[in-house]
Amino acid sequence: MTPIKDRIVWNSLLEEEFSRYNDIYFRYEYFELYKRYYDVEPEAIFWEDENIKIFWTHLIRDISKIEQFEDFKYYDLTTPYGYGGPLLITKTRDEAKINGSLKEFFETYKNYALKNNYVCEFIRFHPIFENQKFFDTIFNAEYLNDVVIVDLTKDLEEIWRDIKKGHRYNIKKSIREGCTVEIISEPSKNDIDEFTKIYYRTMDTNKASKKYYFPIKFINNNFNLLKAVLIRVKYNNRIIGASMFIFWDEIIHYYLSGTSYDSKSLYPSDSILWESIKWAKKNNFKLLHLGGGRGINDSLFKFKKGFSKDIMAFYICKKIFNMEAYHALLTINPMSAAPNNYFPTYRQGLDEKIV
């Protein structure tokens, strides 16, 4: 088993050995953003035998940096905001051999985790690649919600027909009212600052958790370090909606978005998503990933579902390596006794960061 923390080695392995999964959420650049602004350490694990190859990415968090746990020299692992999880390439069709190798790998991985004082790991699997299915013999993956995918290999006319009638009306109304859409592949500092303002105002309106107020420099460097595009809507020369999309290879993701509260009747979000579909198709992307919401009855999910009938399931996993250390940490935080789905539970109420 080989731990990897070098950018060149990480990306080369992804591109050469796991090219079918060459998505932005697995690339070192995405993890590097969190290293810069959230005091975490990126790590990838590569493991191979005669039956399988595994590429496993996560962020390492130092638990002792939380004041209440400063005497505990332990770490926990997490997927960055978004999606990820371990990847698998098989060299045989023999399921017994594959499962045997997976079992051997996980024993090795668990021993590595214990040796390095990793207490537990939280995984957000990638809904497009459905990578939770590869590891169902060693994980109990939990279904969380659905996400919406737009298949860009379809004709544009077919995609338009599949869009909900109400959304099509909203897009046409936005045009009639004189709204204009700008697609900015290389936004200036001022463009990014304007986007950040409208994003923060949207978080204020939605009374969002503090963790969704990404640092200004973090948002800036999504454009500087990653492949990203800014799409915004103007009305009377005023920005009323803006969204950031990040991408790599054949997949583009709807990432961060904001709208002016007083512009809802102009439907900027509808126009942004329609223009993103056209731009992504023109630039030869195969899939536009819109993400989901808090559940299938959530208004955000229903809005996104109006743009495509293609739905994928999103799974998570909670894995504890060192149960003794986990329980020791629980005893220190009284909030961990409250019933909830937060993981790891010992961080409940003590950590307002996205990772």
Same domain, 34 and 152: no
Q: Is residue 134 part of a domain?
A: yes
Residues 279-290 as b or e (16 or more Cβ within 10 Å = b): bbbeeebebbbb
pLDDT of residue 294: 80
CATH code of residue 153: 3.40.630.30
Question: Do 209 and 246 belong together in one domain?
Answer: yes
56 falls within a domain: yes
Query: Would you say 124 and 82 are in contact if contact means Cβ atoms under 8 Å apart?
Result: yes
Domain shared by 135 and 169, yes or no = no
Is residue 137's pLDDT more than 90?
no
Mean pLDDT lowest among 223-232, 294-303, 321-330, 333-342: 333-342
Residues 231 and 188 in one domain: yes
Please state, in angstroms and rounded to a whole number, the distance separating the CA atoms of residues 106 and 146: 28
pLDDT, average across residues 293-316: 92
Report how many domains make up the chain: 2
Residue 55, in any domain of the structure: yes
User: Is the pLDDT confidence value at 297 over 90?
Assistant: no
Q: What is the share, in percent, of the chain residues with pLDDT greater than 70? A: 99
CB neighbourhood size of 41 (10 A): 14
> Residue 354: inside a domain, yes or no?
no
**Domain limits for position 287:** 147-313
**Cα atoms in the Cβ-side hemisphere of radius 13 Å centred on 186:** 0
Based on the fold, state whether residues 245 and 177 are members of the same structural domain: yes
Angle at which helices 165-176 and 268-282 cross, to 10°: 100
Q: Which two tokens stand for residue 122?
A: 């939280």
Q: What is the mean pLDDT of residues 23-30?
A: 98
- Rounded to a whole number of angstroms, the distance between the first and last alpha carbons of the chain is 25
Same domain, 309 and 328: no
User: Does residue 96 share a domain with residue 43?
Assistant: yes
Please indicate, yes or no, if residue 238 is contained in any of the structural domains. Answer: yes
Give domain status of residue 123, yes or no: yes
Q: Is residue 193 in a domain?
A: yes
pLDDT tens-digit readout, 248-291? 999 999 999 999 988 889 999 999 999 999 999 999 999 999 99
287 with 193, same domain: the answer is yes
Q: Are residues 152 and 233 in the same domain?
A: yes
Are residues 75 and 32 both part of a single domain?
A: yes
CB 177 within 8 A of CB 266: yes
**Same structural domain, 36 and 133:** yes
Has residue 352 been placed in a domain?
Answer: no
Same-domain status, 27 and 47: yes
